[in-house]
Amino acid sequence: MTATEPARPPALTQVRLHDAFWSPRLEANRAHTLPALYAKLQEVGALDAYDLPEYAKKGITIPKTHHVTPQMWWDSDVAKWIEAASASLVTHPDAALDAQIDDVVERIAGAQQPDGYLNTYFTAIEPGKKLTNERDWHELYNAGHLIEAAVTHHQATGKTSLLDVVERYARFLAGVYGTGPGQRPGYPGHEEIELALLRLYHVTGRREHLDFARYFLNQRGALPNYFETEALARGDDPRDFWAGTYEYMQAHVPVREQTQVVGHAVRAMYLYAAMADLAAADGDAALRAACERLWADLTRHSLYVTGGLGPSASNEGMTRPYDLPNDTAYAETCASVGLAFWARRMAALTGDGAYADVMERALYNTVLSGVSLSGDAFLYENPLESDGTHRRWAWHACPCCPPNLARILASLGEYVYAVSAREVTVNLYASSTLRTDVAGHRLTLTQEGAYPWRGDIHLSVELDAPATFTVRLRIPSWAQGATLTVNGEAVDATPQQGYAVVTREWRSGDRLDLTLPLVPRRTYAHPAVRQDAGLVALEYGPLVYCAEGLDQDADLHALSLPRGLALSARFDPELLGGVTIIEGDAVADTVGGDDLYSAAPPSTHPTRLTAIPYAVWDNREPTPMRVWLRETVR
């Protein structure tokens, strides 16, 4: 099944959020995360690294003992900061921040080499190794993030200063990589440039960028494997590959033949997002089918209830179906950000709300858990259970997650809606205003509500003239019994591919009122997930809940919920910035003595459970946490 027409996210400038749930997070992102990231990039030398290539232009090689020694991925962190800061300017014009971005862009432009190449590490530190190890190093990955930064910078400010730089760089790379005479049939070990080139194509309309992205995707996994050819060219034995398998970077078979999500989770998500974008641009049925197979594999076998993915630290990624440990869950924040990228594109490609359901799950849970309420402390891994020692940090040896969080939060408006010539789709419920053209007319759609704490959502229509078009409102899979009225009259809310669909002649003043029933609900894992056998998770709307030890009168491992007992929800305006908590009667095992083992089962005593959204865990003092709780059958 397909959507009636292709959909695209609205431009950053077309959406304004004024939402009670999201606005505090977006303000913390603007006021605290962006300055904190910039300060760290200054402190570690990532910004000063753009001055080092000036020495290289003069023929001076910078020794590794220099006071600033770039890391191979520093360029990507700077680029993501530029992208996030640029998006922030759309909703909060800030002359000082604008000037700060301009300064960084100027330094980047100054570091670009005469042939268009741009990478601080391989220009200043190891110029002889430039473009010799795409399997392990990050040149094309860095280039991709720089391209994405340039696209957002241009969309937000109208400036072309960084766009001109990345177009030169893209043309240089397109001359290096390809199947023509003198070119290398290579592609990146860490995917990212593919989706970046597609974004560059959409903003410039230049098919050379579409063609280059298509080349990278078509070449991936082809035989002979480029990474083996590349290793031989630099004098290495391909069998010495540290990861042991090209599944690690999804290069084991061509992309259209892939059936299982394998390897490094972030790389996989970036790859699949690009595949979905190209499938939409080309109408490529085989590429779309591959995306749908991979999606089914992930969501049926390997996705955490929180929207996290990649249980293993050893490969920062996937292991085997149904392997979902809780206390050792890696679930990298960047992977859930990438999942949201992929899900948004799949929802637009197929018109199916099931993809937007997962996008919402990732955004409201693992993405938000990755940053503190204050906006200046972060998680790389997002476990579903902790003994209280897993805490947020201000910086990391590989600080990819904080600027990734910053850019997705700053561009959240792109995820709320999707638009096409004769349709407006509402994917997320957040108080906001969309201004766009539909059916040849200017539309302002205003959304109001208190989601996710309450399920009553109101949308009002303003038009320059009456117009006939379709409004699609997502009905989440958990929302049983949703109701919808238009101008006070009930209309059919039965989901069509996950959306209530209303096609009519709309006029200014028309109003839609959607009600999504919100009650606490219990969720159980597939029996093959051995780590969750006998356990239950709690959800409320899009939010997954957890228990933190400081809210309970019993140890979390000793506490259990009797099956069938009712749970209640209550909004607490004083807790964690204002959250709805879930409460209910529970029982706890009682310690009967000092013996490590006993022939007698433990006795129990009644207690109460208080659960908070997983999105806000670890924002108080150190304390144990669990998502999956024991359940007692009475």
The residues assigned a catalytic role are: 316, 400
- Inter-CA distances, 93 with 26, 30, 78, 85, 89, Å: 14, 11, 20, 10, 5
Unique residue bearing structure tokens 């993030």: 145
Integer Rg of the chain from CA: 25
Q: Cα separation of 312 and 325, whole Å? A: 9
Evaluate whether 375 touches 28 at the Cβ level (below 8 Å): yes
199-to-150, 278, 373, 538 alpha-carbon distances in Å? 10, 10, 31, 38
For residue 122, what are its two tokens? Answer: 């391989």
Q: What is the DSSP string of 295-358?
A: HHHHHHHTB-TTS-B--BTTTTB--STT---STT----HHHHHHHHHHHHHHHHHH--HHHHHH
Element (H, E) at 75: helix 74-91
Nearest to 547 by CA among 611, 607, 608, 606: 611
Contact between 115 and 131 under an 8 Å Cβ cutoff? The reply is: no
Q: What does the alpha-carbon distance between residue 308 and residue 367 come to, in Å, rounded to a whole number?
A: 8
Tell me the C-alpha distance between 84 and 252, whole Å.
33
Query: Phi and psi dihedrals of 126, rounded to 5?
Result: -130, 65
**What is the b/e burial string over 549-577, where b = at least 16 CB atoms within 10 angstroms of the residue's CB?**
bebbebebebbbbeeeeebebeeeeebee
Determine contact, residues 569/518, Cβ cutoff 8 Å.
yes
Task: Compute the distance between CA of residue 130 and CA of residue 2 in angstroms, rounded to an integer.
Answer: 44
Q: Any idea which residue has 């009168």 for tokens?
A: 553
Residue 11 carries which DSSP code? Answer: P
DSSP β-bridge partners for residue 8: 419
Contact (Cβ atoms closer than 8 angstroms) between residue 173 and residue 112? no
DSSP code for 47: T
